[in-house]
Chain A
Amino acid sequence: MLKAIGAGSLDELFADIPAELRLDRPLDLPDGRPETEVFDHLAALASRNAHADSELCFLGAGMYDHYVPAIVDAITQRSEFLTPYTPYQPEVSQGTLQAMFEFQTAMSELTGLPVANASLYEGPSSVASAAYLAIGATGRRRLVASRGLHPHARETLRTYARGFGAEVVEVGLAGGLTDAAELAAAVDGATAAVFVQNPNFLGAVEDLERLAAAAKEAGALTVAAVDPITLGILRPPGDCGVDIAVGEGQPLGGRLDFGGPSFGFFCAAEEHLRRMPGRIAGEAADADGRRGFVLALQTREQHIRREKATHNICTAQALNALGGIVYLAWLGKRGIVELGELLARRTAYARERLAAIEGVELLHDAPVVREFALRLDAPVAEVLERCAADGIAAGYPLARDYPEHPDGLLVAITERRSREDIDRLAESLRAAVSEAVGVAA
């Protein structure tokens, strides 16, 4: 090959690199190893993680231990979906493009908003992406965010806002819900958008319609971060006057994967179509009249619009979104409703049982669907240690994200947590709290 190139050696091919920039030693990395050793090394690392198959998991905070049906893996592991590139040559990418179209349809259905894209990275950064759209659309620079928005979303919003030059103002919670009066007072003629989450981070079901109305009155957009698994039973944001619905897609057939990869979804009212971020698949006809799909409205995107693009995103989370539409097809029209009902009922049961424990009370009693917040009369960290020793991850401590709730604990329910599991949690929590209190006393 070198002969064909006309080079005497491999080094010659790198001749353009000036001598002083040539690395004159091997990379200081461990040597390469055969597959069997690499596997053992990775398996050893994995074995040092306490995961949801090795203990009972009541952790939530944005990602949930839902059951991932086997067909999701079977389909997403197929070479034809796993290994191709972004569909820039649509004639050989109809599988990916049609799956995107179906995914967009499903997310549009769930949120009640007509336009959906084919994915963003994940939940919190999708919230920030909605902010970028809002400041472009309104020309305003103030963002009002409820304290019920996921702490990671609020932080991400602030980080991005420092870049595109917006101010982030926070509105507090009252009784676990966004303080509607405080929100109405905070929204003004300089506000580009209001950000709320439903159910909110403390698990409470918000009145989106009322909050959106307050925003609209001031000419601001409403962005709702929603949990997709609850959209089988909760009123879709589009029906509540919400302009943009975004969120974390992990509950829809995604692995826990220590936080990623998952996908973010982004759905909006028709008027925002041309400001939408990310890829969008659209229907098209080929030269012989056959039905097909293409990447639509690419002039919004970075590869064409460059500095005026609606967003800088290129690679998104297409494979995870495919997992999402497969999951939603598997769950189906009836399944998503039944799942929502089951979650609501089990969560109600769990909340009742745990609140009945001595030294445990509800942090708020707003309606909940799949997650709720408790206050413990014992050091939360210690209680969690004791439950962990029982093989249970009892919940997410709130202290760091909500210093006003130093003894708060967030407990999440999925369809994998049976009544027995909940009873086991109750028993373990009861023992843990009383022991921790006993020790402290």
Chain B
Amino acid sequence: MAEESYPDDLLYHPEHDWARIEGEEATFGITWYAQDALGEVVFYEPPEVGTRVSKDRPYSEVESVKAVSEVYAPLSGEIVAVNEKLAEAPETINEDPYGEGWLVRVKLADPSEAEALMDAEAYRRMLSE
């Protein structure tokens, strides 16, 4: 499993989801804290490409043996790509939550929503409280 980390180049949502913004698109995933709380991920079914996601609303679920966790969209937009690899190897979410374990890629509806998200330091602070 991955070591605990919260990369500085990401933005964070209080429901333990991250966003990597690249121009008009962003990639979403769940943080190290989230995958650690879940335990070994055994199943992830991504939403369909074309689905609209809304900031602060859940858009899919991640399952471990004994728990199911909703995944929240840090920002609003339309899904343009999903991580197909997770169907065969859902444990990638545990092994590499910020890299190979990405969940969806979204075309942003309103990039200014990013202002409401936390940076890595603020997220780490939230976790320690």
Contact = CB atoms under 8 A, between A and B. Distances in A.
Asked if the two chains touch in their complex, CB atoms less than 8 Å apart, one says yes
Contacts, number: 14
Contacts of B64: 299
13 contacts: A298-B65, A298-B66, A299-B43, A299-B63, A299-B64, A299-B65, A299-B66, A299-B67, A299-B68, A304-B66, A304-B67, A304-B68, A308-B68
B91 to A, nearest CB: 15
Interface of B: 43, 63-68
Nearest to A295: B65
Given A298-B66, A299-B66, 12 more contacts: A298-B65, A299-B43, A299-B63, A299-B64, A299-B65, A299-B67, A299-B68, A304-B66, A304-B67, A304-B68, A305-B68, A308-B68
Contacts of A304: 66-68
Nearest to B43: A299
10 closest residue pairs by CB, A with B: A299-B63, A299-B68, A305-B68, A304-B66, A304-B68, A304-B67, A298-B66, A298-B65, A299-B67, A299-B43
Interface string A343-384: 000000000000000000000000000000000000000000
Contacts of A308: 68
Interface string A135-156: 0000000000000000000000
A113 B68 CA distance: 28
A298 B64 CA distance: 10
A298 B66 CA distance: 7
Contacts of A305: 68
Interface string A289-325: 0000000001100001100100000000000000000
A284 B107 CA distance: 41
Nearest to B64: A299
Contacts of B65: 298-299
A306 to B, nearest CB: 9
A308 B67 CA distance: 12
B31 to A, nearest CB: 21
Contacts of B67: 299, 304
Nearest to A303: B66
Contacts of B43: 299
A104 B63 CA distance: 24
A298 B65 CA distance: 7
A304 B65 CA distance: 10
A439 to B, nearest CB: 68
Contacts of B63: 299
A271 to B, nearest CB: 12
Nearest to B45: A274
A299 B63 CA distance: 7
A299 B68 CA distance: 7
- Which of B43, B63, B66, B67 has its CB near the most chain A CB atoms (within 10 A)? B63
A304 B66 CA distance: 7
Nearest to B42: A299
- Which of A298, A299, A305 has its CB near the most chain B CB atoms (within 10 A)? A299
B48 to A, nearest CB: 14
A299 B66 CA distance: 6
B46 to A, nearest CB: 14
B68 to A, nearest CB: 5
A304 B67 CA distance: 6
A304 B68 CA distance: 7
Nearest to A308: B68
Contacts of A298: 65-66
A422 to B, nearest CB: 54
Nearest to B70: A308
A52 B35 CA distance: 59
A358 B110 CA distance: 84
A308 B63 CA distance: 13
A304 to B, nearest CB: 6
A308 B64 CA distance: 16
A304 B69 CA distance: 11
A305 B68 CA distance: 7
Nearest to A294: B65
A298 B68 CA distance: 10
Contacts of B68: 299, 304-305, 308
Contacts of A299: 43, 63-68
A298 B43 CA distance: 12
B51 to A, nearest CB: 15
A305 B69 CA distance: 10
A305 B43 CA distance: 14
A291 B43 CA distance: 22
A308 to B, nearest CB: 8
A78 B63 CA distance: 37
B63 to A, nearest CB: 5
A295 B63 CA distance: 15
Contacts of B66: 298-299, 304
